[in-house]
Structure 1
Amino acid sequence: MQGLAEVTGRPVRSAWSRSGEQKSNPKADAVVCAPMTMNTANKLAADISDTYALGVIIEMVGVGVPTVALPFWSTALDAHPSTRRSVAVLREWGVRVLYGPGEWEPHEPGTGGEQLVKYPWALALSEARRLSG
């Protein structure tokens, strides 16, 4: 299995560029946020960018780069009012949240490990390709 750097031909970044440091990545055609936890969805919807990954997603939304989010949380977390509110906010911003019938649906509490095998990565990548034209 190839790693992300081998597939893209670019280094994987995990921290912001420092002042004067050359940017290593070209403009993104699209960005995928996956697996998006409830915590990530809530932080994004509240504009909290306390990690590099959150900051990149918020920045990409801000500059209009097509953004796809593929959730991963349990039905217990899904029942919390902030989850639906955060999904609605992200959709208002134009984020394509792959959530609901025919896309991704929450799993029963305690079964997350079992769900990873069938997590629909291809769905997120296909949607990112479609949105990027």
Structure 2
Amino acid sequence: MTLYLIVCATGPAPGAGELVTLSQRAGWDVQVVATPLALDFLDLAAIEEQTGRPVRSRYRLPSEPKPPRPEAIIVAPASYNTINKFALGIADTYPLGLLAEAPGLGIPVVILPSVNPSLAGRVPYQASVARLRAEGVELLDPPPAGAFPWHTALEALSRRLP
């Protein structure tokens, strides 16, 4: 089964390999998809060696092979910007394009935000949370400062699968 891990450019992003490891231990074949800004946060060579796949951040060219469709998507760490754009259906990057169509395709999506309290308390963010949850997206509460709880995203996903 293929899991897409979408990584946004927030502080915890360099640790995304931890979620890759946890996901692989749980039997997932992981494809990492990074927002364009997140590319600078990741050790691309290490992630690609870990997954056996290139990190994707753009739409493929017609001459490039089509990647497998995911059975599930985790967005972690998810930025304020990505969460709000996803909720509004904005698909101006490859990762957002994947997210925009996932609910319509029945692909489970779990979001583990990396959003500070001042942003999480804003009306636009709260509206986005409500909108995404109404569409069946599992949007976890932002964790408190400290160690990023990667495992909680995978645990939430496992509760959503048959």
TM-score tier (shorter): 0.7 to 0.9
Q: Which amino acid aligns with 1:80?
A: R
Residue 119 in structure 1 maps to residue 145 in structure 2: no
Residue 55 in structure 1 maps to residue 104 in structure 2: no
Residue 15 in structure 1 maps to residue 44 in structure 2: no
Please give the per-residue CA displacement for 1:8-28, whole angstroms capped at 9, x wherever unaligned. 3333211112224321x3221
Q: Which amino acid aligns with 1:125?
A: L
Aligned residue-pair number:
119
User: What is residue 74 of structure 2 aligned with on the other side?
Assistant: 32
RMSD of the alignment, in Å? Answer: 2.1
Task: Tell me, in whole angstroms, the C-alpha distance in 2 between the residues paired with 1:4 and 1:65.
Answer: 23
**Structure with more strand by fraction:** 2
Task: Tell me, in whole angstroms, the C-alpha distance in 1 between the residues paired with 2:159 and 2:74.
Answer: 12
Is contact 1:30-1:131 (8 Å) kept? no
After the TM superposition, which of the residue ranges 72-81 and 83-92 deviates more from structure 2? 72-81
Q: Which amino acid aligns with 1:16?
A: Y
State the SS of the aligned residue for 1:31: strand
Over the matched positions of the two proteins, sequence identity in percent amounts to 39
User: What is residue 29 of structure 2 aligned with on the other side?
Assistant: none
Residue 75 in structure 1 maps to residue 117 in structure 2: yes
Task: Tell me, in whole angstroms, the C-alpha distance in 1 between the residues paired with 2:85 and 2:91.
Answer: 7
Structure 1 residues 59 and 127 mapped into 2: Cα distance closer, same or farther (>3 Å)?
Answer: same
Residue 6 in structure 1 maps to residue 35 in structure 2: no
How far is 1:98 from its partner?
1.0
TM-score, length basis structure 1: 0.77
Task: Tell me, in whole angstroms, the C-alpha distance in 2 between the residues paired with 1:60 and 1:78.
Answer: 24
- Aligned runs of 1:77-96 on 2, under 5 Å? 77-96=119-138
Structure 1, unmatched stretches of 5+, are 108-114
Larger radius of gyration: 1
How far is 1:67 from its partner?
0.4
